[in-house]
Homo-oligomer: A and B are copies of this chain.
Amino acid sequence: MQTLKSYSCSICNSVYDPSQVTYTCPKDGGNLDINLDYESIKKNTAPDIITGSNDFSIWRYLPLLPVLDPGCMGTPLRSVGWTPLYQPKKLIEELGINSLWLKDDGRNPTASFKDRASAVLIARAREIIADVVVTASTGNAGAALAGMAAAANHKAVIFAPKSAPPAKVAQLLIFGASVFLVDGNYDQAFDLSIQAAKEFGWYCRNTGFNPFTAEGKKTAAFEIWEQVILSAKLKKPLSIFVSVGDGNIISGIHKGFKDLQEIGWLEQMPRIYGVQAEGSAAIANAFHNMVEDIQPVKADTLADSISVDLPRDGLRALRAVTQTDGSYITVSDTEILAAIARLGREGIFAEPAASTAYAGLVKAIKNRLILSDDPVLVMITGNGLKDVKAATNAVQPAPIIEPTLEALKKVLKR
């Protein structure tokens, strides 16, 4: 059953039929929100049907997604999502809060949160019979699109800034995508990918620009609803920490909770906290200046996945926080590195952007934005293996020794 009803512009609120528009608002270029046919959803499904599903992936939420079943059974596209939650005791004690969940989206098929968006995007591409999909990416979104496209037998074209970490580029190539390393930054790769999509008739996945990315990302909200909110019987609203670059993950998560409220399945909206690197804080700046006008910055942070001059989904990312009584927090690269090391000591290897959300929680507790009885969830958006170089900066190097007990004893004595 197709639940896609219409698009609304996030700036001017103009409503469009999906047959009229593919990407952004023709009037002002605003990103489009997808309106579902909420009445038919309410008629055709119920929380019990969803929570009783045997499909442990994002596809258990198909009745709440604006796409038809993409098929592709037995491929990685079918095993996106339903990622594990950790509740490390030592860490919780150390933070001095009562309850904490870390949701590890590094366990997705291509090892990042972006698989959610790319899987739903590929489902849409199949509906509109778009054989070639294209995206600009600092790495994760591209790897996700390349991986999901490979699984579904679509062709992927990826534009990445040439500074993207080698592991991420290797993933793109291995998944058989056509990769172009752009001698410029992410923003230039973004613009080029849109031009190329127009020129060659490719379907463009660009974050925010394509209304379906947020619809994929909202599945994380559904999982949080099912795995935490429904089962933990919280007394206070859940506070959710999300790292923010382009802003599409946080707006996608917000959209998921809005959908759940719309159909009457969610009583209390969680508070959403956006965390940005100090060196790439365009949205946080707007939040603290209490304006909706987001000014670009000259991005400079080691957290490559959230290093962005002009956030491509800034407005909705800002509203995800202002409309849920959350806040924006910025953290330094030093705090990000410390967060990588701290999570590692719990057996969780998070990439810099993923650790950023945890660093934000540490700061929020220090600043008493979060109190001990606030239930908290931190989204871990990508696996540390994606950016080993950054991880190496978070720890002391290992000593090299001769293969003898004497050599070992000498080092241990130091």
Residue A176 contacts which of B75, B150, B344 (CB distance < 8 angstroms)? B344
Known: A111-B383, A167-B385, A167-B388. A175 touches B84 (CB 8 A): no
A52 an interface residue at 8 Å Cβ cutoff?
no
| A residues 149-173 touching B (CB-CB < 8 Å) | 149-151, 153, 160, 162, 166-167, 169-173
Is there an interface contact between A347 and B77, defined as CB atoms closer than 8 Å?
yes
User: 1/0 contact trace for A1-40 toward B, CB 8 Å?
Assistant: 0000000000000000000000000000000000000000
Contacts of A392 in B (CB 8 A): 166, 170, 173
CA distance A162 to B397 in the complex (A): 12
Contact between B174 and A403, CB atoms less than 8 A apart: no
Within 8 A of B (CB), among A379-407: 383-386, 388, 391-392, 394-405
- Is A341 part of the binding interface, using a Cβ–Cβ cutoff of 8 Å? yes
Q: Are A199 and B391 in contact (CB under 8 A)?
A: no
How many angstroms from the CA of A152 to the CA of B388 in the assembled complex?
24
Q: How far is the CA of A87 from the CA of B195 in the complex (A)?
A: 36
Copies of this chain per assembly: 2
Are A148 and B181 also in contact (CB < 8 A) when A86-B74, A386-B385, A388-B166 are? no
**Is there an interface contact between B169 and A398, defined as CB atoms closer than 8 Å?**
yes
Q: Is A331 an interface residue (CB 8 A)?
A: no
A349 within 8 A of B: yes
A361 close to chain B: CB less than 8 A: no
Instruction: Write the chain B residue with the least CB distance to A345.
Output: B176
A137 at the interface (CB under 8 A from B): no
A377 CB-CB contact with B under 8 Å:
no
A340 within 8 A of B: yes
Cα distance A153–B192 in the bound complex, in angstroms? 48
Interface residues in A245-303 by Cβ distance below 8 A to B read none
The smallest C-beta distance from A328 to any residue of chain B, in angstroms, reads: 28
Give per-residue flags for A357-376: 1 if the beta carbon is below 8 A from chain B beta carbons, else 0: 00000000000000000000
Flag whether A127 is at the interface (Cβ < 8 A). Answer: no
In angstroms, how far is the closest chain B Cβ from the Cβ of A403? 4
Contact of A347 among B88, B150, B340, B384 (CB under 8 A): B150
Cα–Cα distance between A271 and B85 once the two chains are bound (Å): 36
Q: Identify which of A87, A107, A175 gathers the most chain B CB atoms within 10 Å of its CB.
A: A175
A184: CB under 8 A from chain B?
yes
The proximity string for A residues 173-190 relative to B, scoring 1 for CB distances below 8 Å and 0 otherwise, is 111100111111000110
Q: Within 8 Å CB of A176, what residues of B?
A: 341, 344-345
A86 and B90 within 8 A (CB): no
Smallest CB–CB gap between A173 and chain B, Å?
A: 4
B346 pairs with A180, CB closer than 8 A: no
Known: A107-B109, A167-B388, A346-B150. A403 touches B74 (CB 8 A): no
Asked whether any CB of chain B lies closer than 8 Å to the CB of A411, the reply is yes
Q: How far is A196 from B404 in the complex, measured between Cα atoms in Å?
A: 9
Establish whether residues B174 and A384, one from each chain, have CB atoms under 8 Å apart when the complex forms: yes
Whether the Cβ atoms of A88 and B111 lie closer than 8 Å is no
Residues of B within 8 A of A88 (CB): 74-75, 151
Q: What are 8 A-B contacts defined by CB distance under 8 Å?
A: A73-B87, A76-B86, A76-B346, A146-B347, A174-B341, A174-B384, A182-B403, A192-B403
12 further A-B contacts with Cβ under 8 Å, apart from A166-B388, A175-B344, are A74-B85, A74-B88, A76-B86, A146-B347, A160-B398, A167-B167, A171-B391, A173-B344, A181-B400, A183-B401, A184-B403, A191-B403
